[in-house]
Chain A
Amino acid sequence: MKHVKTLNKTNLKKTAAKGGCSECQTSCQSACKTSCTVANQKCEK
């Protein structure tokens, strides 16, 4: 494409079907303890 550059082609919705196992870290445990930032957590699968 000439006018658009797409950085990622993953589709979030597809991750919903198999997701939700809760084996990953809860967000407040990684560093902050004062705010919720989920997107920077790692998936364990």
Chain B
Amino acid sequence: MIHKYSLNGFNIVLDICSGAVHVMDELGYELVDYTSADMPEKCPDEAYNALNKFSKEEIDETYSELYELVKEGLLHTPDDYDQFKGKMAPAPIKAMCLHIAHDCNLRCDYCFAAKGDFGHGRKLMSYEVGKKAIDFLLDNSGSRTNLEVDFFGGEPLMNFDVVKQLVAYARSREKEYNKNFRFTVTTNGLLLDDDIMDFINKEMSNVVLSIDGRKEINDALRVSPNGKGCYDIIVPKFKEMVKRRNGEQYYVRGTFTRKNPDFYEDVMHLYDLGFDQISIEPVVSDPQISYSLTEEDAERVGQEYEKLAKKIIEMKKAGESINFFHFMLDLDQGPCAIKRLRGCSCGNEYVSVTPEGDIYPCHQFVGIDGFKMGNIDDGKIDNELKAEFSKANIFNKEHCRDCWARFYCSGGCNANSQQYAGGIFNKHEVSCLLEQKRLECAIMIKAALAEDEE
């Protein structure tokens, strides 16, 4: 199976099951339609007829190149991944999102946490609950060495003393359990001060700084309870934070909505502010809300991704660099096929814990009826639900089985599917359209940069 597309002057053919990417001239790109896994060594007559604008010699030459690729296992690689289905089973829990504060000092309109409190009232996680959650992770992580803990909210800095205590506690157990904790934190930045910055930089492997881009865009939705935008407060703090991290291991992370389909400008604005690790992502919200992105917006958003991709190529060629999260792709050494087949692993290897100690499949499932998996107080977890989530992979999602993007996207976001498509195994159309477009752009960037290497 292949996926072919032309973008920005590149004819790209992706061999889906091997992951090989080919850039072809016009002839190759057309002739590939006449090839298959069991293609004969000699070019079929119908191909000569259909491509008669090319000479027979050229066609033969190209045909034999394609034939060679098939033989090498780089084109029309058959899908025999079914043999790995058995690896999609319940597994140890190795990653946890700690909802350290279900409270927030902003009231961002699109927040999936229902303005910070996840719809269940404002609450901070106590040290005791957090400690039990860490113990739960230690006890349920089996032989996994690397354990990830995200401090999330609401706004985690509103309960930062507990964050500090929990980091210290987890570190104190690392040796005995032979584990390596990796912490990350996502913050809106309002409370960042010297002390907190230094702590984060010492202890956290990644920090996600929330900002949407241009001042007017950011301040339209990222507002304090009195309605005032936060741009002017957070920008200097984020700059300082990143400077103190030597510009490494961070993301400035924002959301675009139907109101700023020109989010290219926001990415470039962030770059102009001095940030080069950037993640600007589509809002996921109820289609009834005015700023929600729908299938109708996919084309417009797609054009913006293309514009950004072209700009990134131009910048790279000029020796500048911008790392756009959703275009990151390593064609040679990405994750293994098993990970790609498994998907996000929420509810199986990854769980979220609320201030009350309730366990949910992930941060986006918090508060959704029927998805509470247990409570860390007794440490018992609904294994049936866990098993169900272990099945949420591309083998069991009808729409993903044959999707060309399945080894990159890995089945999409279960929470989005649950909330906006009626079930974790269902298709959330607009997410798929955007994901596929991003991947096409990411691969095209590789093609453009490879051309330059020659």
Residues of A within 8 A of B (CB): 1-13, 15-16, 18-20, 22-45
Q: Which residues of A contact B188 (CB under 8 A)?
A: none
* A5-B23, A6-B74 given; A24·B18 CB < 8 A: no
9 further A-B contacts with Cβ under 8 Å, apart from A26-B95, A35-B431, are: A10-B331, A12-B407, A13-B17, A25-B148, A33-B152, A40-B325, A42-B335, A43-B335, A44-B146
Total chain B interface residues with beta-carbon distance under 8 A: 91
Task: Pick the residue among B81, B282, B362 that contacts A13 (CB under 8 A).
Answer: B81
Determine the distance from Cα of A31 to Cα of B253 in the docked complex, in whole angstroms: 7
Residues A7 and B81 in contact, CB atoms below 8 Å apart: no
Determine the distance from Cα of A12 to Cα of B279 in the docked complex, in whole angstroms: 26
Residues A3 and B338 in contact, CB atoms below 8 Å apart: no
Q: Which residues of B contact A16 (CB under 8 A)?
A: 81, 84, 336-338, 341
A–B complex contacts, Cβ < 8 Å, 9 sampled: A4-B24, A8-B21, A16-B341, A22-B92, A22-B345, A29-B148, A30-B251, A31-B208, A40-B334
B77 beta carbon closer than 8 Å to chain A? yes
B65 beta carbon closer than 8 Å to chain A? yes
**B339-352 vs A, Cβ < 8 Å mask (1 yes, 0 no):** 11111111001100
Residues B345 and A34 in contact, CB atoms below 8 Å apart: no
> How close is B442's CB to chain A, nearest CB, in angstroms?
8
B332 beta carbon closer than 8 Å to chain A? yes
B168 beta carbon closer than 8 Å to chain A? no
> How close is B205's CB to chain A, nearest CB, in angstroms?
9
Q: Which residues of B contact A33 (CB under 8 A)?
A: 152, 186, 208, 363-364
Q: Which residues of B contact A7 (CB under 8 A)?
A: 20-23, 331, 446-447, 450
Q: Which residues of A contact B144 (CB under 8 A)?
A: 22-23
